[in-house]
Homo-oligomer: A and B are copies of this chain.
């Protein structure tokens, strides 16, 4: 068995807790440090996960640390990524690299030559059902992809404070599906058209956001794609992808927990979808972490999203933001990556 990766977790918020649980449960990882700007959180995490507190820079400078997991606030990602890369650490960085695509590009320019292992937090690539879809698509089961449908619908509006700092629906929510689309098809998005509205919470238009949006995308090899996003459904978390090719259609459908079906009168009632996004995608965080650890241990792992993947998904999001705002088709600036 390989040596355990010694890991520092930077960021002790909601998503930091998700990662902390996985880090302590993974047999190939030792959680050495937790860091946060808030000392009380550091205390809580170090006690709960039986580990030590540190500042982010202490953790990054500690030579015994192999890997850094960046789960801190978005504005801190870029600096921490650069510092950890310069210190030669393997890096798991939550998305996005930075809300500014320019800044994200400069980080990539600085970091890529350092040749450290980096993965960006597009954990949905590790959904077991989406992975089957990609595998069967690659094996040619339905021929070349022609028409892709994606649905990304959260069950409940996040707090206004979250939305205000999020970068908007394209950069915060849809971005996972921009990545999934590229990954599933092994192709690039070249053109985007988007329409959106604030149907659920009109006040978010103050900072230019929408909560309901629909998108068209044209792929370089000719396929066409659709995506819809909502922040609130009234029926649970709905995530699904279908890909049509010349020889049929593959569908990674809406998912719901197992349960009882009731036949009564003129109706059949089944358990509904997962109540929220987290109950649906929870397992993918561990699977992503595990894939990264396996790659650090020398295994060939093809699905890991890298820094370039982070940039490319952000470039699509930027085009979508422009299309939404200006009511026009928008090319994706792939050439400049």
Q: Tell me the A residues contacting B by CB distance below 8 Å.
A: 128-129, 132-133, 136, 141-143, 146-147, 149, 151, 153, 191, 193-197, 199-200, 212-216, 218, 222-226, 228, 230, 232-236, 238, 244-253, 255-273, 275, 327-329
Contact = CB atoms under 8 A, between A and B. Distances in A.
A214 to B, nearest CB: 5
12 contacts: A129-B260, A132-B260, A191-B327, A193-B193, A195-B216, A197-B222, A249-B263, A253-B261, A265-B272, A266-B275, A269-B269, A327-B329
Contact of A248 (B215, B264, B328): B264
A100 B273 CA distance: 46
Contacts of A260: 129, 132-133, 136, 250-252
B146 A230 contact: yes
Contacts of A250: 260-263
Contacts of A238: 249, 263
A268 to B, nearest CB: 4
Chain A interface mostly: strand
Quickly give the copy total for this chain: 4
B266 A271 contact: yes
Contacts of A133: 260
A258 B223 CA distance: 27
A222 B214 CA distance: 13
A233 B249 contact: yes
B259 A128 contact: yes
Given A193-B195, A329-B329, A264 B214 contact: no
Given A195-B191, A272-B268, A244 B233 contact: yes
B248 A234 contact: yes
Contacts of A259: 128-129, 132, 252
A84 to B, nearest CB: 32
B272 A270 contact: no
Given A224-B195, A233-B249, A234-B247, A212 B147 contact: yes
